[in-house]
Structure 1
Amino acid sequence: MLIGEVARQSGLSTRMLRHYDRIGVVTPTGRTMGNYRSYTEADLERLLHVEALRSLGLSLSQIAEVLDDAAFDPSRLIAQVIARAEESIARTEELVARLRAVNDSQPRSWTDVLHTVGLIRDLESPAPSQRQRTALTRGATDQDATVLVAALLREPHADAAGALQWALSRIGDAALPALVQALYAPDELSRRRALDALEKIGSPAAREAIAAADDSDDPRVRARAILTRGRLGDPAALPRLVDLIRAGADDVAAADVLVSLVRDRDLARVAVTALVAVLEDADPHTRRRVAAALGMIPGSEAVVALTALLDDDDRGTALTARALLSRRAPHPAERGSGPAPSAGPAPSAGPDPSDGPAPSDTVA
């Protein structure tokens, strides 16, 4: 078969076939009656093998080595080709990520493009000090938000991460879309860095974004979201604040937020009811946390609940209730509701010299 016919049937150009012949990969071995070289069946079979191996990413020199050595071990060469292909994929993915970062910055001119490319390059420096210096000294603009967030999420060094959070706080709300998306990232570090960055921004929109994450699977993000929702004055946060107190997760902060939330008498009554319900079958540590929270809530209902704890089976809970009642000052919400109940005698847990003198029974 002459070269033109081989080209038509194989889809290769005559130029490529001549190149194969010149470097010795596939050389036609037959002769026509006119003494023209032609491809034999064996030549065509070798050509098919060459194209199959090229489709695997092998170079022509590697293909010639494979085809000319019947004892050649294919697994070693294939492993090399796989490694090279994976490196190529990684480089391509890195290029795509960089292009997306540039595009997400919404450049308006090539000057903007070069600015973003330079920022990306500096934030990918192998030196943590260089990355930190870049975050602290480069004039951050709104167009840098996505690049800085991406750098924050992958930053392995705490100092450089802190500098990136500071840079994002200077940008402000322009960074919110990328940070909110990171709140639901699959890895814990990204979620928590995004949360810290949103708290540093601290704008009304940032606080609303944190509060909206109260359905997060991450317990830290969820707790911060509940606290933020309470600080924003949402009464719906009340039972979830009580849950934090019950669980002992951010319980001190939850009690503080609960007190700031229950300004009116009705909400205070709801809070006391919810806290008293926690006491059923609660362990001693939980009972003491509940007592501490009740001591901060205004209203006679809280006084009644604390008084009931004076005879608690857990001595620590009883003493906590007694101390809180003795220090409790009358609150405006309690006026007109009659005198607060007497704290009564000390709980009958028996004398314990290590406890020292019993707290005063006086109720302010």
Structure 2
Amino acid sequence: MLIGEVARRSGVSARMLRHYDSLGLVRPTGRTRGGYREYTADDVRRVFHVEGLRCLGLSLRQIARTLNEPDFAPSALVGDLIRRTEERLSREHELLERLRAVDAAEPVGWRDVARIVELLHGLSSPSAARRQQTVLAPPGRASVPAELLAEAVLTESDPNVAGALRWALARAGRNGVASLASGMASADGDVRRRAVLALAELPEEAATVLLTDALGDPEPAVRRHAALALGARGVTRAVPALIETVVEGPNDVEASEILGTLARDATWARRIMCRLVDELAGHAGDSAVRMRLTQALAEMPGTIALNTLRQLADDADRPVALIASALVRVLEGRLDVGRPCGDRHLGAG
């Protein structure tokens, strides 16, 4: 079979077949009397083998090694191909995301495109200070797309940069909530926590819905931050998670203050008091937890917790009793301030 027919049947150009011959990849078995290359059926099969390996991304040198070494083990080569392909796909995915970010910014000219690209470089900087500066002072005062900010806040580990990103996202418009929804669906608890912290600064009702869903998250930190955000918005569904935060800490002081605000509603005051008392009874052997619960009682409005604190002033747990006694004196002092002068307690004299 002459080279022209091989080219037609294989789809490989005659020029490439001659190149394969020069490299020793596919050398025709014979020659005609006129000196033309003559390929056998085995030669043609080798052409297809070469083309198949090229489709996998192998270089011609790698293909030659693969075909010419009978004992060659392909596992290492294939593994290397997989790694290089993954790296290439990662670079292409990054490029795609950058293009989407530029498109979302709706640039009106190449100058705007250049500014957005500069923003992207700044946000991907290894320097936390540079990333923070990029968020707070974008080049040319170009607006940063909410989608880009959301993607950055979900991956940012530096607390200062993360705070700046949340601040910027809260001012970027309504697209922020939709962009953070994917973070709430992540299998990574840290990503969900970052999403909740960002949602806490967005006032939209859609953010409240996502935060409410987060109350059932398996990660305690996610539940805690969702409860704090919802409680600050007056959402009473956060009460169980807020009490859990008082019990477990951290943020127990903040959770106690929010519970005190929610307890201004008489119905919820009774429920919250009952839950706090139940938790005190359920943690009889844990002094640290009972101290936090005792301090939470002092945040209840008015003097509704006074009788409970008086009982705790005689508690067998000495640290709890001391804190309760001090809180009782504070609450009783408030009562004295509110009484007419003739009804106040007189000191000894």
Q: CA deviation at 1:106?
A: 5.5
Structure 2 partner of 1:291: 294
Q: How far apart, CA to CA, are the structure 1 residues paired with 2:75 and 2:290?
A: 66
Structure 2 partner of 1:312: 315
Q: Which amino acid aligns with 2:46?
A: R
Cα distance change on mapping 1:146 and 1:51 into 2, 3 Å: same
Q: 1:65-144 alignment to 2 at 5 Å?
A: 65-68=65-68, 77-78=77-78, 80-103=80-103, 105=104, 107=106, 109-111=108-110, 113-138=113-138, 144=145
Q: How far apart, CA to CA, are the structure 2 residues paired with 1:301 and 1:162?
A: 38
3-state secondary structure, aligned to 1:58:
coil
Identity of aligned residues (%): 42
Structure 2 partner of 1:44: 44
Q: How far apart, CA to CA, are the structure 2 residues paired with 1:266 and 1:80?
A: 66
Say what the alpha-carbon RMSD is for the aligned residues. 3.8
3-state secondary structure, aligned to 1:26:
coil
Structure 2 partner of 1:340: none
Q: CA deviation at 1:219?
A: 1.7
Stretch deviating more after TM superposition (72-81 or 271-280)? 72-81
Q: How far apart, CA to CA, are the structure 2 residues paired with 1:318 and 1:22?
A: 94
Q: How far apart, CA to CA, are the structure 1 residues paired with 2:270 and 2:61?
A: 84
3-state secondary structure, aligned to 1:25:
coil
Q: Deviations over 1:81-103 (max 9, x none)?
A: 44443432332232233233334
3-state secondary structure, aligned to 1:328:
helix
Using structure 1 for the length normalisation, give the TM-score: 0.73
Cα distance change on mapping 1:306 and 1:151 into 2, 3 Å: closer
Q: CA deviation at 1:235?
A: 3.3
Q: Deviations over 1:151-170 (max 9, x none)?
A: 33444555544443443344
3-state secondary structure, aligned to 1:171:
coil
* Unmatched tracts of structure 2, length 5 or more: 340-344
Structure 2 partner of 1:265: 266
Q: Which amino acid aligns with 1:7?
A: A
Q: How far apart, CA to CA, are the structure 2 residues paired with 1:290 and 1:126?
A: 43
Q: How far apart, CA to CA, are the structure 1 residues paired with 2:129 and 2:235?
A: 43
Q: How far apart, CA to CA, are the structure 1 residues paired with 2:71 and 2:270?
A: 87
Number of aligned positions between the proteins = 334
Structure 2 partner of 1:349: none
Contact 2:303 2:331 in 1 (8 A): no
Q: How far apart, CA to CA, are the structure 1 residues paired with 2:236 and 2:70?
A: 79
Structure 2 partner of 1:325: 328
Q: Which amino acid aligns with 1:314?
A: D
3-state secondary structure, aligned to 1:93:
helix
Q: CA deviation at 1:39?
A: 0.9
Q: How far apart, CA to CA, are the structure 2 residues paired with 1:202 and 1:148?
A: 13
Structure 2 partner of 1:176: 177
Q: 1:205-216 alignment to 2 at 5 Å?
A: 208=208, 211-212=211-212, 213-216=214-217
Q: Which amino acid aligns with 1:234?
A: V
Using structure 2 for the length normalisation, give the TM-score: 0.76
Q: How far apart, CA to CA, are the structure 1 residues paired with 2:181 and 2:75?
A: 46
Q: How far apart, CA to CA, are the structure 1 residues paired with 2:191 and 2:283?
A: 35
3-state secondary structure, aligned to 2:186:
coil
Does 2:148 match 1:147? yes
Contact 1:227 1:241 in 2 (8 A): yes
Cα distance change on mapping 1:299 and 1:141 into 2, 3 Å: same
Q: Which amino acid aligns with 2:322?
A: L
Q: How far apart, CA to CA, are the structure 1 residues paired with 2:154 and 2:83?
A: 27
Does 2:268 match 1:233? no
Stretch deviating more after TM superposition (271-280 or 132-141)? 132-141
* Unmatched tracts of structure 1, length 5 or more: 336-359
Q: How far apart, CA to CA, are the structure 2 residues paired with 1:263 and 1:239?
A: 17
Q: CA deviation at 1:257?
A: 1.1
Q: Which amino acid aligns with 2:148?
A: V
